[in-house]
C-alpha cells in the first residue's frame, strides 16, 4: 500500500527545497453569534481541523502559491501595487501579504503549498484559518514575528479591507489564541478573554447542512449596517451608546417605537445574545449543562426569528439534534444561511448521535450531511518538519 505524501514531501517535490510547516485551526462558536462586530461577547473554540501551509523563501518578490484543495497555482507579484480581490481563494493569501507589507514587515518572496481539512465555506472559519496560517508562514520564513493579537487583527483587516467581507474579530482571534480543551469567552470590545475548560466527557460536533445560500456575504454586511443604523437611532436618546454592546434590554424596550421593525429585531437579537453569552459562562462554571443547552436553543431561535440568518436546513438540523440522546445543546454556528450547526454532545453518545442525525437529515432532505467531531483544539503554530521526509 503506498503511503500518502506529507505536505512537506509534496512541497519538496514541487519546489525542490524543504519547507517549514505552519498551521491554523477552524472553529465553532458555542454561543454569541453576530455579536463580535457589535463590540459584544463570543464563546468560540478551535476544532481539530486545520489549514496547513508549507513555505520556503524565494529570492525574488513573488509568492507562488499552490492549493491542494483547488488543485491550482497562483502567482502573486508583491511589487504590483494594483493587486485587487477577484473573488478567488488566493484573495486571502494576497490580502494577508499586502497587510503585512503595509504594516512594515519586509516579508520575503515565497513558495507556498496549502492544504486544508477545514470544510470550505461551511461556517467553520476556513477563511480565518487560511489567513492566519499564511500570515504565520510568511512571518516565520521572513524571520519576523508579531504579537498574537496584532496577528489576528491584521488578518481581520485583510478580510475587511482587501477581500471585502466586514467580518468581526472572532474567527481570527480564536484561530490564533485557542488553547486545547477549552473555549474562550472573548470580550470583543476590550479583547480580553477568559479560558473555560470543556470537560473531557463532551465533544464538539458540527453538522454540515451541505447548503450555502447565495445571499450569505451580502446579507452579512447588510445585518451589520442594520445594527449600525440601530446604534445611530438609539444614540439620539442614549448619547453614550456607541455600539449595541451598551444597550440594555430595558433601554431597547423603552425606545422600541423609535426603531423601524427590522432594525428593532436585529438589535433585540444582539442585546439578548450578549446576555445569553454571559449567562452561559455562569452555567459552564456551575456545571449546569441543562442551562447551557437552553441558552443555545434560545440563541438559535433568536438568530432564526430576530436576526433572520438561519434557513430551513439549519432549523431542521437543530430540530433533529434536539431529539437525540446525550445532546447538551444545538444551534447554528457562524454567519448563517447554511453551513453548520454546533452540537455539544456527551462523548459516549457521539456515534449514535452521528448515525441518527445523518439518517434523519438524509431522509428529510435527500442530502447526506458531513459530521465533524472534535475536542477543542489549540491555536496556530509551527509544526517541526525534521525527519518528516524520512518517515516510513
Is 171 a catalytic site residue?
yes
* Residue in 171, 181, 315, 355 annotated catalytic: 171
Q: Are 321 and 353 in contact (CB under 8 A)?
A: yes
Q: Considering the rule CB under 6 A, would residue 33 count as an interface residue with ligand GLA? A: yes
CA dist 116 and 127 (Å) reads 10
Q: Considering the rule CB under 6 A, would residue 342 count as an interface residue with ligand GLA? A: no
Q: Which of 20, 23, 34, 177 binds ligand GLA (CB under 6 A)?
A: 34
Q: Considering the rule CB under 6 A, would residue 25 count as an interface residue with ligand GLA? A: no
Residue 345: beta bridge partners? 203, 327
Burial of 156 (0-12, 13-18, 19+ CB in 10 A): buried
CA dist 208 and 310 (Å) reads 13
Q: Which residues contact 256 (CB under 8 A, 6 or more apart)?
A: 264
Q: Considering the rule CB under 6 A, would residue 37 count as an interface residue with ligand GLA? A: yes
Alpha-helical regions (H) of the chain:
7-15, 90-102, 126-141, 148-157, 170-177, 216-235, 249-254, 261-285, 289-305, 312-322, 350-365
Binding mask 362-391 for ligand GLA (x = CB under 6 A): ------------------------------
Which 168-207 residues touch ligand GLA, going by CB under 6 A?
168, 170-171
Q: Considering the rule CB under 6 A, would residue 41 count as an interface residue with ligand GLA? A: no
- Minimum gap (Å) between residue 290 Cβ and ligand GLA: 24
- Minimum gap (Å) between residue 28 Cβ and ligand GLA: 10
Q: Most distant CA pair in the chain: distance in Å? A: 71
Q: Considering the rule CB under 6 A, would residue 91 count as an interface residue with ligand GLA? A: no
Q: Which of 334, 338, 376, 379 binds ligand GLA (CB under 6 A)?
A: 334
Q: Closest CB to ligand GLA among 12 and 330?
A: 330
Q: Which residues contact 24 (CB under 8 A, 6 or more apart)?
A: 50, 51, 128, 129, 130, 131, 132, 133, 136, 175, 176, 379, 380
Part of the chain binding ligand GLA (CB under 6 A), chosen from 162-170, 229-237, 251-259, 346-354: 162-170
Q: Closest CB to ligand GLA among 11 and 337?
A: 337
Q: Among all residues, which ones are annotated catalytic?
A: 171
**Residues in contact with ligand GLA by the rule CB under 6 A:** 33-34, 36-37, 167-168, 170-171, 334-335
Amino acid at each position: 500500500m503506498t503511503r500518502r505524501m506529507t505536505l512537506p514531501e509534496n512541497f519538496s517535490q514541487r519546489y525542490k527545497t524543504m519547507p517549514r510547516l505552519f498551521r491554523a485551526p477552524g472553529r465553532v462558536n458555542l454561543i454569541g453569534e453576530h455579536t463580535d462586530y457589535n463590540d459584544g461577547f463570543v464563546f468560540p473554540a478551535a476544532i481539530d481541523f486545520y489549514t496547513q501551509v508549507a513555505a520556503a523563501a524565494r529570492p525574488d518578490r513573488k509568492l507562488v502559491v499552490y492549493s491542494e484543495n483547488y488543485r491550482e497555482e497562483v502567482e502573486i507579484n508583491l511589487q504590483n501595487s494594483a493587486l485587487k480581490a477577484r473573488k478567488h481563494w488566493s484573495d486571502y493569501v494576497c490580502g494577508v501579504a499586502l497587510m503585512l507589507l503595509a504594516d512594515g514587515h519586509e516579508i520575503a518572496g515565497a513558495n507556498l503549498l496549502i492544504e486544508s481539512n477545514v470544510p470550505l465555506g461551511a461556517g467553520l472559519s476556513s477563511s480565518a484559518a487560511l489567513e492566519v496560517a499564511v500570515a504565520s508562514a510568511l512571518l516565520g520564513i521572513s524571520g519576523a514575528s508579531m504579537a498574537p493579537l496584532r496577528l489576528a487583527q491584521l488578518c481581520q483587516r485583510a478580510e475587511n479591507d482587501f477581500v471585502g467581507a466586514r467580518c468581526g474579530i472572532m474567527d481570527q482571534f480564536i484561530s490564533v489564541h485557542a488553547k486545547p480543551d477549552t473555549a474562550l469567552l472573548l470580550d470583543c470590545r476590550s479583547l480580553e478573554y477568559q479560558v473555560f475548560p470543556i470537560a473531557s466527557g463532551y465533544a464538539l460536533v458540527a453538522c454540515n447542512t451541505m447548503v450555502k445560500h447565495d445571499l450569505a456575504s451580502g446579507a452579512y454586511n447588510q445585518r451589520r449596517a442594520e445594527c449600525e443604523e440601530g446604534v445611530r437611532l438609539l444614540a439620539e436618546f442614549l448619547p453614550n451608546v456607541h455600539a449595541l454592546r451598551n444597550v440594555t434590554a430595558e433601554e431597547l424596550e423603552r425606545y422600541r417605537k423609535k426603531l423601524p421593525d427590522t432594525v428593532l429585531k436585529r438589535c433585540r437579537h444582539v442585546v439578548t445574545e450578549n446576555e445569553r453569552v454571559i449567562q452561559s459562562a455562569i452555567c459552564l462554571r456551575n456545571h449546569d449543562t441543562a442551562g447551557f443547552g437552553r441558552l443555545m436553543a434560545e440563541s438559535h431561535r433568536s438568530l432564526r426569528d430576530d436576526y433572520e440568518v438561519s434557513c430551513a436546513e439549519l432549523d431542521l438540523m437543530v430540530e433533529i439534534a434536539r431529539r437525540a440522546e446525550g445532546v447538551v445543546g444545538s444551534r447554528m454556528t457562524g454567519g448563517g444561511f447554511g453551513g453548520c450547526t454546533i452540537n455539544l454532545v456527551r462523548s459516549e453518545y457521539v456515534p449514535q448521535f452521528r448515525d441518527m442525525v445523518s439518517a434523519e437529515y438524509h431522509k428529510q432532505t435527500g442530502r447526506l450531511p458531513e459530521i465533524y467531531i472534535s475536542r477543542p483544539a489549540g491555536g496556530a503554530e509551527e509544526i517541526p518538519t525534521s525527519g518528516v521526509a524520512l518517515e516510513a
